[in-house]
Amino acid sequence: MAEILLFHHAQGMTAGLKEFAGTLRAAGHTVHAPDLFDGRIFDSLDDGLDYAGTLGFDTVLRRGAEAAADLPAGLVYLGFSLGVMPAQRLAQTRGGARGAILLHSCLPVGEFGGWPAGVPVQVHAMEQDPFFAGGGDLDAARALTSAAADAGLFLYPGAEHLFADSSLPSYDTAAAALLTRRVLGFLAVA
């Protein structure tokens, strides 16, 4: 079973993300889900992004690194949207990563150096998500998944951003179920 470090999106550690972590735990995995926002939850993505901007994206990255500091090296890093920042950074820079799962976002691989050899990665997003498809993340995901030896890019029909969080109006039951099956398959061999 995998040991996972899960990072939340800009709306905070919502009930839907806690439920997602619970699903992974129910499958036998160990999940660490730090709250990088000290318990703050936001009603809208814009409010959460404003808070993250005020907090500072360097602070988000630092808090992610601090969350990993006392954990073993052999982690799978999983990030939802804003949480992809620390997840991808740690997967690329902290030795021993067993994999990375990047949901709703992807940064250019050059942001943190090259992608480490032997680290599998999955990227999941909706094909018409304006943040993902229109913000450069899709191009970054295509470049990453074509460069990494064991990689998958999964695009789902629709335009929602945080479609895998069951506590948000953007939740898409069918897409989230398929994403969860794919993530559990990835974790089963990580």
Residue 116 banded pLDDT, cuts 50, 70, 90: very high
Higher pLDDT, 102 or 135: 102
67 pLDDT above the threshold of 90: yes
What are 151's two structure tokens? 């990689």
Distance CA 35, CA 33 (A): 7
Domain annotation for the chain: domains and CATH numbers? 3-189 (3.40.50.1820)
Instruction: Give pLDDT, residue 149.
Output: 86
Average pLDDT on 118-129 reads 97
Contact 76, 5 (CB under 8 A): yes
Residue 135 banded pLDDT, cuts 50, 70, 90: confident
Express each pLDDT in 98-115 by its tens digit.
Answer: 999 999 999 999 999 999
Instruction: Give pLDDT, residue 163.
Output: 98
Task: Give me the chain's average pLDDT, please.
Answer: 97
Express each pLDDT in 36-64 by its tens digit.
Answer: 999 999 999 999 999 999 999 999 999 99
Give start and end residues of each alpha helix (H) in the chain: 15-26, 45-55, 57-69, 84-93, 130-133, 137-147, 173-189
CA 16 vs. chain centroid, Å, equals: 14
Express each pLDDT in 144-186 by its tens digit.
Answer: 999 898 999 999 999 999 999 999 999 999 999 999 999 999 9
pTM above 0.95, yes or no: yes
What are 89's two structure tokens? 């950074």
